[in-house]
Amino acid sequence: MPTIHAFAAVHPKAHLAEDVVVGPFCQIEEGVTIGPGTVMESHVAIKRNTTLGARCYVAQGAILGGDPQDKGYKGEETFLVIGDDCVLREYVTVHRGSREGNVTRVGNKCYLMAYCHLGHDVTLHDSITMANGVGVSGHVTIETMANIGGMVGVHQYVRIGKYSMVGGLSKIVRDVPPFMLVEGIEQQVRDINAVGLRRLGVSAKDRLALHKAAKLLFKSQLGLTHALDIVRREVPHTAEVEYLIQFQERLFKGKSGRGDQP
């Protein structure tokens, strides 16, 4: 049976795997599902319609599955789904979706440090790392293995590309290109995320192609259409360059600076 502290409150219609550990003063509401091996420290609140995967660690004071901070929310049935092997540190807050049936999703192996906040309808892919105090607004999508520095604020509907790095204290109001290092109030693209790409095993030749594409797209002062044409003609079409081109082409499809906004 789960290990539940005597001072915890677990609703009888919550579903906990056999080896879940629930610390003192935790509150687990109706309709919650918690996977095997997950541990919750003290004063954790898991709100209704939340699914928490296997082998997660939830630190003191975290609140998962709270009502969305959306003036249009009228009590509809919405959901939060968190994957396996996630670490949610002290006082992390994650809200459910904002409209009937909507889901806030957190992938596998995500690491959210203390005081991070994910708003309603956010989607995190796998292996996201967020440093302390990151605030993510509603409807944001963050792709695989992005790394977000401390105290970053992310505007609603923004998409942050995979394997990118956002420097601490940055203001993110536009989409962040994949594989890039971005920082500052003006959200400047500094260069490719070279260290991260090396760790991922991207070859020096492929990193050089991506660096050349980045210079044309973000440093040349060319218009985006012209810069993309030059990248297509002059830069080797590695897998990373192709994905970068596709990501930037989304700007022509009504997605500029606001991620997945309808």
Residue 262's pLDDT band (boundaries 50, 70, 90)?
very low
| Domains detected in the chain | 3-192 (2.160.10.10), 198-253 (1.20.1180.10)
Mapped onto helix, strand or coil, the DSSP state of residue 63 is strand
Distance CA 57, CA 48 (A): 19
Going 190 to 157 to 77 to 92, the CA torsion angle's sign is positive
Among 149, 90, 158, 89, which Cα is nearest to 119's?
Answer: 158
Q: Are strands 45-46 and 63-66 parallel, antiparallel or unpaired?
A: parallel
Distance CA 109, CA 126 (A): 6
Mean pLDDT, all residues of the chain: 96
**Predicted TM-score of the model (pTM):** 0.95
Q: What is the pLDDT of residue 26?
A: 98
The pLDDT tens digits for 40-97 are 999 999 999 999 999 999 999 999 999 999 999 999 999 999 999 999 999 999 999 9
User: Mind telling me the catalytic residues?
Assistant: 120-121, 138
Among 88, 29, 37, 34, which Cα is nearest to 59's?
Answer: 88
